[in-house]
Amino acid sequence: MENNIILSAVLQGLLEFLLPIVAVAIISVLVSWAKLLWQKARLWNPDATDLLEEAAKVAVTAAEQAGAAKLISDKKVYAMDIAERWLAEHGIHLDIELIDAAVEAAVYRQFNSDKSVK
């Protein structure tokens, strides 16, 4: 019985040490995979990916300004709508989840570009 308690404590300590390392490794692999897929998409259709990035940037900026002026209640919904309409105006029709990911990436870039890595 006492051996189980000791073994449990050792395993718990080992997991507390290893799980953050494994989580960081998994996240790094996923980020690398996403970057690779994005580069392949850029090679496959550079016009669409450039327009998607531009649409997301414009949509995020517009949503931030409209939100600051209290003209809208949900900035993400507004940004998604702006990006989708902007792309449609340019003859590009993409999956809404791809547009959502581009908007999230634009938000991240806009609000984290001036932060230095510590």
Q: One digit per residue, pLDDT tens: the chain, 118 residues?
A: 688 888 898 899 999 999 999 999 998 888 788 778 777 777 777 788 888 889 999 999 999 999 999 999 999 999 999 999 999 998 888 888 888 888 888 888 888 766 554 4
- Does 30 lie in the same domain as 51? no
Q: What angle (nearest 5°) sits at the alpha carbon of residue 98, between those of residues 93 and 104?
A: 130
- Does 76 lie in the same domain as 28? no
Residue 75 has a pLDDT of 93
- Does 85 lie in the same domain as 49? yes
Distance CA 3, CA 47 (A): 64
- Does 68 lie in the same domain as 84? yes
Distance CA 90, CA 102 (A): 17
Domain of 24? Answer: 1-44
- Residue (of 40, 37, 84) closest to 59 by Cα position: 84
Q: What angle (nearest 5°) sits at the alpha carbon of residue 76, between those of residues 30 and 57?
A: 70
Distance CA 78, CA 75 (A): 5
- Does 62 lie in the same domain as 104? yes
- Does 91 lie in the same domain as 57? yes
What does pTM read for this prediction? 0.62
- Does 112 lie in the same domain as 96? yes
